[in-house]
Structure 1
Amino acid sequence: MTQSAIAGFTSGTWQIDPTHSNISFSVRHLVTKFRGSFTDFAATLTTGEDVLDSSVSADIKAASISTGNPDRDGHLRTPDFFDVENHPELTFRSTAVRYDGDDLVVTGDLTLRGVTKSVDFQVEVGGITTSPYGQTVLGIEADTTIKREEFGLEWNSALETGGVLLGSDVKIHIEAEFVLDQQ
């Protein structure tokens, strides 16, 4: 993929549209996966003349975690997991954008529970269009996998039959619409 392959690409500052975006995750639980999402977040995308000169920053309220189960959500907010009282936000700040073959990769610093690690998001640009309200809208999907223990999310429970309750890998999936700031 090249910049010219992104029809309508333009430089500028874009704000995430939270009503048309989703930040979700999945992690192994026993023999299946459970999923959750964050419902309170903000992000700014700054596109350069060249797509490789772009950057993104995101802030997510840790207490907005939602798995569809209030008891589990409450446990995830405790010091066993996100410790939202002491670490109210998760943040991402990009440090580089590059191509890996035809794929776009955004590298950046992810901070969770006060621990910052570099992660790579595989990014797919869904396109750029004009909304019915006259706004220029950019759609993306981004994926990465992190090891939760590397971010201090170490709680687990040994199983009588061997193994542990929770897997180590957490898959993060983002579907986002960004709206170009009108100048």
Structure 2
Amino acid sequence: MTEDSDGMHRRGASPGVYRIDPSATTVRFTTRAVFGLLPVQGSFTVDNGRILITEDIGDSAVDVVIRAASFESGNPQRDEHVRSMDYLDAAVHPEIVFRSRDVKRSAEGASVQGSLTVRGVTRPTVLTLGPVITDDQCLRAQAATSIDRYAFGLTKAKGMTGRHLGITLEVIAFLIGA
């Protein structure tokens, strides 16, 4: 399959609603801890989501729900602390939600403009699209963004916990209707 320089498949995704497959989709993060000395990486799990592809790609939309309690970094003690009220407060705010109603193309590529809600705080967020590959009923996409946790009120352990998180997504979704 041929791709344009912005990562979008020339044929494009068929217009319609695509359901994100949580078992095949990954949300990974990277950050640094202990005054930037130690790399930390891990993942979240997508609970559910959908992608609406319209004839005018700019009107397309993305809605994704991630379970805050799915935070995993490979260190059980750190994972429980991040899920606690000090950070994500997953018991009170179980969902991390991304909603978009705008896709933009430029000479540099394509981006999804939206809002991210973490712990009840909503901030604008832009996902930079990587390759988007489609076949008859399946859409595969890659995207990336950077999140400043302070913007969401997550300011505990300044210095000991990284302020910025790099987020990468690998999404697989299946066409469910036109």
TM-score normalized with structure 1 length: 0.86
Q: Which structure has more helix as a fraction of its residues?
A: 1
Q: Which amino acid aligns with 1:148?
A: R
On the 8 A contact 1:3/1:51 being kept in 2, the answer is no
| Offset, 1:125 | 3.1
2:84 is the alignment partner of 1:78: yes
The reply to whether residue 147 of structure 1 matches residue 148 of structure 2 is yes
Residues 105-114 or 165-174, more deviating: 165-174
Q: How far apart are the structure 1 equivalents of 2:9 and 2:83?
A: 42
Q: Is the 8 A contact 1:61 1:90 kept in 2?
A: yes
Percent of residue pairs identical: 33
1:35 and 1:4 mapped to 2: Cα distance?
28
Aligned to 2:138: 137
Task: Please give the alpha-carbon distance, in whole angstroms, between the structure 1 residues aligned to 2:130 and 2:46.
Answer: 23
Q: For the Cα contact (< 8 Å) 1:7–1:127, is it kept in 2?
A: no
Aligned position for 1:112 = 118
Please say if residues 7 and 130 of structure 2, whose CA atoms lie closer than 8 Å, have aligned partners that are also in contact: no
Structure 2, unaligned stretches of length 5 or more? none
1:91 aligns with 2:75: no
Deviation at 1:27, TM superposition (A): 1.1
Measure how far apart 1:35 and its partner are: 0.9
Larger Rg, first or second structure (1 or 2): 1
Question: Normalising by the residue count of structure 2, what TM-score does the alignment of the two structures yield?
Answer: 0.89
- Give 1:166's aligned residue: 161
Runs of 4+ in 1 over 6 A off after TM superposition: none
- Alpha carbon RMSD of aligned pairs, Å? 1.9
Is 1:179 matched with 2:156? no
Q: Does structure 2 conserve the Cα–Cα contact (< 8 Å) formed by 1:38 and 1:62?
A: yes
8 Å contact kept, 2:128–2:145: yes
Shift of 1:40: 4.2
In 2, the alpha carbon distance for the partners of 1:105 and 1:55 equals 12
What amino acid is aligned across from residue 142 of structure 2 in structure 1? E
